[in-house]
Structure 1
Amino acid sequence: MIGRLMAMTAHSGKGSELAAVLLRVAERLHGFPGCEIYLISQDAADPDTVHVTEVWQDESSAQAALAASSSADGPNPADVLALLSSPPHRTDLTVLGGVGLPTADGQP
């Protein structure tokens, strides 16, 4: 499994709008093959900073979701980028396990 932590800073006063767009993305990913977690959080101290925590079965699943978002109805990457005051910060992870993730036998 792979993971990503994304930190995004919206233009001043646009954090809730950014979070709403990302929640729409998350809704569209519900049940998407290979998507284990797509969690949207807003920084309690700075509401213009929004975090996305992602867990995918593999890189190809993450790439397939990105490709699908460009062609599907609803928000696309350009909608998110238009709300940002600076480029997103991305941290790539190797996911080892934890609460809420399936085990090797597919059970949570």
Structure 2
Amino acid sequence: MIANYGFSATLTARPGTGDRLVDLLLTGLDEGSPGASKQCVVYLVARSASNPDIVHVTEGWTSETDHHRIFASEAAKAIVAQIDPLLAKEPEYTDYVPVRGKAAF
């Protein structure tokens, strides 16, 4: 599948909660979670090299419609509800249209 819509998000955790934030974001790859859907073709969680409480998420989706539909699910809402209390400030988002790339983990 090809990613036709994507975004990156920078999340700043409350001091000392970066590990918990990363663990929670990685549950997005569990069966039944948003990142495990076939419409999600890229789901990358990374940390800042200089601040372990800054976490970056990059996602690529088959379409913006698919992204919004899947994030309206109860599984996605449950993850987001657990993330919000860990954040020191609002996430920063950058949306984009993927052109080409490669991912191997």
Global fold match (TM > 0.5): yes
Q: Which runs of 5+ in 1 are unaligned?
A: 102-108
- Give TM-score, length-normalised by structure 2: 0.85
% identical equivalent positions: 30
Aligned length: 99
Measured at CA, do residues 77 and 43 of structure 1 come closer, stay the same or move farther in structure 2, by a change above 3 Å?
Answer: same
Measured at CA, do residues 73 and 91 of structure 1 come closer, stay the same or move farther in structure 2, by a change above 3 Å?
Answer: closer
1:1-108 correspondence runs (5 A): 1-27=4-30, 28-68=33-73, 71-72=74-75, 75-100=78-103
What is the RMSD computed on CA atoms of the aligned residues? Answer: 2.0
1:33 positional shift: 3.0
1:30 positional shift: 4.8
Which runs of at least 4 in structure 1 moved beyond 6 Å after TM superposition?
none
Q: Which runs of 5+ in 2 are unaligned?
A: none
Measure, in 2, the Cα distance between the counterparts of 1:73 and 1:36.
16
SS of corresponding position for 1:81: helix
SS of corresponding position for 2:95: strand
Residues 34, 76 of structure 2: 8 Å contact kept: no
- Give TM-score, length-normalised by structure 1: 0.82
Comparing 25-34 with 53-62, greater Cα deviation is found at 25-34
- Which structure: larger Rg? 1
